Structure 1
Amino acid sequence: MQYKERYEKVLTPLADELRAYLSRCLEGQPRIDRISARPKDIDRFVAKATKLADGKPKYQEPLAEIQDQVGARIITYYQSDVARLDPLIQQWFRPIEYRDHVPESHWEFGYFGRHYILAIPSDVISAGWPKEMIPRFFELQVKTLFEHAWSEAEHDLGYKPGEAPLTPQQTRSLAYTSAQAWGADKMFDDLFRERAGTTGGATH
């Protein structure tokens, strides 16, 4: 399988290089809990590559079209830190796409997080890697601790292959925990702003 070879030869070491590069770019920045990067799991890539849209394959050339073959994350303390890091990311990387993920309705709760599709910097590419296996882009997610914790648990509970879909009551329970995480994020951010002598509400 082509992706398995790419995963082993390029994506795994590329993820390590990206994590180190991000750490250098953000060295000294306050209130960053962790920086991580990893290649997309083989099974998850296959599942995404074989998705259908209107009965037809969503991707004609998955190896070229799927942009999150390597994913990186920056986990911050507060919501205001997510916005604070944005100009630094724009400075160090070339953004291709940018999106704040929020539920469609103000009355709904679910996944929150800021996602970027960024061009892979030439500095992290090894001359020994096969050029045809090097992706052009990677995905960067910037989240708070609460957003990260909720999304990891929600993904584990709701997306395990082969398991029955969540019941309506279970979905409501997940939405409730998202609301609690959002509330905790807002309270901590408000307290941080008060202690820091700043004003203004959270971005989400």
Structure 2
Amino acid sequence: MSLIEEFIDRYTKEYDFYGRAANLVAQILENDLRSSGVRCIVSHRAKEVERLKDKCIQRNSEKSYESVEGIFKDIVDLAGVRVALYFPGELELVDKAITRLFDQWDTKRIFPGAEEVPEGRSFSGYSAVHYRVQPREKFIGDADKRYLKARVEIQVASVLMHAWSEVQHDLTYKQMAGDLSSEEHSILDQLNGLVLAGEISLRLLQEAGEARVARTGANFLNHYELAAHLLRHANDALAEPVGDSGLGKVDDLFALLKRLNMTTPADLAKYLESLHGAVAERPLAEQVVDALLAEDSARYAIYNDIRSASNSPHVDSSDAARDTANAMLEFLQDWVELETTLNDLAQQSGVSRRSTMPVANLVRILDIPYGIGDEIDLLRRMRNDVVHLRREFSVAEFDDATKRIKHINAMLKGGGAHVAINP
């Protein structure tokens, strides 16, 4: 058995491993990109055995493989994921998502490189970014821990460029009847120019869509347009640019806005005024959701339905689940009362004329003794975890937190805690 045959035999036995690894990476990335409003097609595959064999034979003529492990090290796309962007201008958002979601075991490759521009051609050729990644443990379930060491290549390019690449790759590298003619090379070069022109048109189309959404009376047609609006507003208003990693669950925010019949930039304007740049702790979508919920406590139930539907399609109707849901609802109802009390105190003290202000701001502004401020901050963090489904709590934890909220609220209303304005 030759070295290449030995490699192919081993790969065939491990084919399902590479397919599952690619599937996991694709799922993690696609869920994040779609949620944050990046329009794309995400696909995955383990490399086909026959195509891999042809590639090994071709590369062996250049590299002269000395071991099976050497072949595994050389072929980096055994497990592959492809991100085909509708709008090439969103490449930077995908870059930030990949950096946040995965560990990169090699430097990303940007095409075309300076040394790779083909001679005798009018256009630059293949344009894309390739990433070589491994999954991170926090995004992988216990049953899939074995895939943490899997190496996966992610290829990111526009939908047009991916299509051209497939045609060019099949003709150039799999030509069994000899080299392509000069005419065929010229036609491929011409098609490449059309693709590059098409990418420019896609960028213009994206800008035109964003301009349409920016008009006061226009409705957000989907969460992608909402995401673009949030990014543009945040990048104008905040000190640093905000990527998709700072957007959060824009799809759930869009669902809430639809339920509230608030789907225009004008409807959203006042809730964007208090956005802050600490998006790693609280993404933009969460900040807007919190502002909406603080304005009307009845919206908690609506948003809870939305989040539950998007994260748990199969509803648990057991007695334990109902007990937890009831305990959570009581916790949130009492939290809303505490928010109202704090805002009332702020207005009475002349600190704010607004009917609502973020609790974190109130805790800083109002001088509440006896460690109550620290207690409120801990409860606020729990509330954020509950509302945005960051973690689950038991009935006992909800009951204990609810008792603490009731006690604090009673003290504040009864004057047991003397509130003053921080200098």
Q: Which residue of structure 2 lines up, in the alignment, with residue 13 of structure 1?
A: 20
Is 1:109 the equivalent of 2:152?
no
Q: Which residue of structure 1 lines up, in the alignment, with residue 228 of structure 2?
A: none
How many matched pairs? 195
The one of 38, 41, 45 aligned to 2:48: 41
| TM-score (norm. length: structure 2) | 0.41
Greater displacement, 42-51 / 82-91: 42-51
Alignment of 1:19-34 (within 5 A): 19-34=26-41
Q: Which residue of structure 1 lines up, in the alignment, with residue 194 of structure 2?
A: 180
Q: Which residue of structure 2 lines up, in the alignment, with residue 84 of structure 1?
A: 93
Structure with a larger share of its residues in strand: 1
The one-letter amino acid paired with 2:72 is L
The answer on whether the counterparts of 2:21 and 2:152 sit within 8 Å (CA) in structure 1 is no
Counterpart Cα distance in 1 of 2:140 and 2:176: 37
Per-residue Cα deviation, 1:93-129 (whole angstroms, up to 9, x for no partner): 1122212212526943321111111123345487589
Per-residue Cα deviation, 1:60-112 (whole angstroms, up to 9, x for no partner): 62124422110101111111111222111111111222122125269433211
Question: Max radius of gyration: which structure?
Answer: 2
Alignment of 1:151-170 (within 5 A): 151-160=165-174, 162-170=176-184
Counterpart Cα distance in 1 of 2:176 and 2:184: 17
- Structure 2, gaps ≥5 residues long: 1-8, 212-231, 233-423
Q: CA deviation at 1:41?
A: 1.2
Q: CA deviation at 1:154?
A: 1.8
The answer on whether the counterparts of 1:150 and 1:181 sit within 8 Å (CA) in structure 2 is yes
Greater displacement, 134-143 / 72-81: 134-143
Counterpart Cα distance in 2 of 1:69 and 1:121: 19
Counterpart Cα distance in 2 of 1:172 and 1:48: 25
Counterpart Cα distance in 1 of 2:83 and 2:143: 27
Counterpart Cα distance in 2 of 1:35 and 1:117: 16
Greater displacement, 167-176 / 39-48: 39-48
The answer on whether the counterparts of 1:40 and 1:68 sit within 8 Å (CA) in structure 2 is yes
Counterpart Cα distance in 2 of 1:195 and 1:13: 37
| TM-score (norm. length: structure 1) | 0.80
Counterpart Cα distance in 2 of 1:148 and 1:58: 33
Structure with a larger share of its residues in helix: 2
The one-letter amino acid paired with 1:4 is T
Aligned-residue CA RMSD in angstroms? 2.9
Greater displacement, 54-63 / 78-87: 54-63
Counterpart Cα distance in 2 of 1:77 and 1:48: 30
More relative contact order in 1 or in 2 (CA 8 Å, sep 6+)?
1
The answer on whether the counterparts of 2:123 and 2:192 sit within 8 Å (CA) in structure 1 is no
Q: Report percent identity of matched pairs.
A: 21
Q: Which residue of structure 2 lines up, in the alignment, with residue 69 of structure 1?
A: 78
Alignment of 1:192-203 (within 5 A): 192-197=206-211
Q: Which residue of structure 1 lines up, in the alignment, with residue 158 of structure 2?
A: 144
Report runs of 4+ in structure 1 exceeding 6 Å deviation.
Answer: none
The one-letter amino acid paired with 1:192 is Q
The one-letter amino acid paired with 2:156 is V
